[in-house]
A and B are shown apart, each in its own frame.
Chain A
C-alpha cells in the first residue's frame, strides 16, 4: 500500500528527472553515435544507430600521433600546475593557519582578492610578461600563471583544513624537537591527505579545461592542449562532421573518466571552496 503511494507521489518527479537527464545525455550520445557514422549518413540518418558501425573515424585519430601528443601535453601541464600550486599553497596555508605574525591579515586579504578577479582580466598583460620572459611556446608559460591564479582558492581550502588539526599535536611534535617545517612535513601533510586530494583534483580539472592561455601562449602545435586541438581540428575538417564528432568524443573521454574516479573530491572541493571563499 504505502509503497504504491510513494510510487504515485514520486512518479511525476521521476518524469522530470528523466526529461532533464535526456537533455543532458542526448548531445553526448549523439556525438558518440555520429562518430561511428560517415558524414553522408549523418544527414540522412541523424538520430538512429549507424547503419553499420564504422570505427574508422575513431581509429584513424588514435592511430595518428597528434591526439596522443595533445593528451601528453595536457597531462604534463595539468600535473605541473597541480604540483606547483598545491606545494606553494600548502606552505602558505600552513603559515596562515598555524602562525600568528604581523601582516598576516593583510596578506591573506591580498590572496582572497585574487579570487574575485577572473583570468580574462589579466590575460593580456600576462601575455606581454610571458613574451618578455621568453616563455611563449614553453609549457611553463601556461603552468606558472595557472598555478598563480589557483593560489587563492587552494590556500583558502587548505587553511581551513589545517586550522582544524588539534593544537596538541603541534605541541607534542614541538616537544619532540620538531621544527615548524618538520611538523608541516611529517605530521600536517600526511594528515591533510584528503584536503590535498581535493585541491589537487580542482587544480587538474581547471588546468585541463583552460583554453584562453594555451591558445595565446602556444603559437605552434608542439605544446597544444586538448581544447586547442579540438578547436583546430574542427577548423581543419569543418566539412567532415563525423570525424570532428569522433575527435570530440575522444577528447572528452579523459575528463569524464577522471570525473568518474574523482567525483567526490571534485564536488567536495567546489562546495568547500564556494562556502569558505
Chain B
C-alpha cells in the first residue's frame, strides 16, 4: 500500500508532490477523498471545541453589540451603532484607552529594558545564576488574583509593608494611600505587574541570548568592540525577533488586564485604574447592559485585531516565517 499520509513529508515546504507512478488514475480520486477525510477527522475535536467556545461566542458578541439588550431572551431592540457612539463618548472608556496606552508605554520604557538587563546579567557565568533565574521567574506561576491580594496587603495604607519600609527610610510621604490614591494607583499597579511579569520576559530573552553563537560576540571582541558596542551591534540585532514577540505579548497583556485590577481596586478610586475589561465586566455583569458591554468586547477585539495584523504585517513577518506560513502544496 502506498501511504498517502506521507505526502507531506516527501513534498516538503512549498512544493507539490507528483503523484506516485503506481497510483492508477481511477483510484486516485477516491483515495484523495479518503485521505482528506482522514486528515480532517483528526482535526474534528479541536475544531468543534474552537468553533463552539471561541468563534461562535465572538460572532454573537458582534451581533449583540448592535442591540439594547439586558442579556435575557434574544436581543430584539436594534439600535444600530448607538452602543459604539455612546462608548466613544463615555469618559470612562476613553480613560480605559488612555490607561492601556500608559501601561504599554511604561512597560516598554521600564519593564522590558529591565528584563533585558537582567537577562544579559544572568547570561554570564555568575555564581548562583540558576537560583536568581528561578526566583525572578517564580511570580509568573502565581495567579494574578492571588498576587493582587498579596500586594493589596503589602500596599495597604499605613499598615502595609510598603509604608513601613518607606517610613523606616524617612520617606513617609511617598505613596501613602497607594492603590487608594488616584494619582498613584496606576503606578502602583504597574509596579505589581512588573514584579509579576518581568521574569517571564527575562526568560524569553535568556532563551534568545543562548541561541546567539558565542563566536559572533568573540569575533567582535577580537575586532576591538567594547562591551556596549558588542551589545548594541551584535547581541541586540540578533535578539530582535525575541524582543518583538515579547513586546507583542506585553501589549496584548495590557489590553486584556483584568484579574489584578479587579481584585485590588475594581477600577477605583473613581475609575482611575479601570481597564477596558473591567468596564466591560461592570456593564455586562453588574448593570446588565449586555449589548453595550458587547460593544466594548467588540472594540477590544478590534484593537487586538488591528494591532496583531499591523504588527504581523510590519514587524513580525520575518520572525514568523515557518510558523504561520505553511506549505502551499496540498498533496495532489
Contacts and interface: CB of A to CB of B under 8 A. Distances in A.
B263 to A, nearest CB: 5
Interface residues of B, number: 106
Given A119-B256, A256-B138, A275-B207, A227 B154 contact: no
B42 A91 contact: yes
B142 A174 contact: no
B53 A101 contact: no
B193 to A, nearest CB: 14
A151 to B, nearest CB: 5
B3 interface: yes
A72 interface: no
A211 B46 contact: no
Interface string A229-256: 0110010000001001100100110011
A98 B9 contact: yes
Given A24-B135, A100-B327, A244 B153 contact: yes
Nearest to B58: A122
A134 interface: no
Contact of A30 (B9, B58, B154): B154
A34 B246 CA distance: 35
Given A101-B331, A121-B301, A180-B5, A126 B57 contact: yes
B60 interface: yes
Q: What 8 A-B pairs have minimum CB-CB distances, sorted nearest first?
A: A100-B331, A118-B256, A148-B53, A167-B9, A125-B57, A95-B42, A227-B145, A92-B46
Interface of A: 10, 13-14, 16-17, 20-21, 23-28, 30-31, 34, 42-43, 46-47, 84, 87-89, 91-92, 94-105, 107-112, 114, 116-129, 144-145, 147-149, 151, 155-156, 160, 167, 170-171, 174, 180, 184, 205, 208-212, 215-216, 226-228, 230-231, 234, 241, 244-245, 248, 251-252, 255-256, 258-260, 263, 266-267, 270-271, 274-277
Interface of B: 1, 3, 5-11, 17, 35-36, 38-40, 42-43, 45-47, 49-50, 52-54, 56-58, 60-61, 64, 71, 118, 121-122, 124, 126-128, 132, 134-139, 141-146, 148-154, 156, 159, 161, 164, 195, 199-200, 203-204, 207-208, 241-242, 245-246, 249, 252-253, 255-256, 258-259, 262-263, 276-277, 280-281, 284-285, 290, 293-294, 297, 300-301, 304-305, 308, 323-324, 326-331
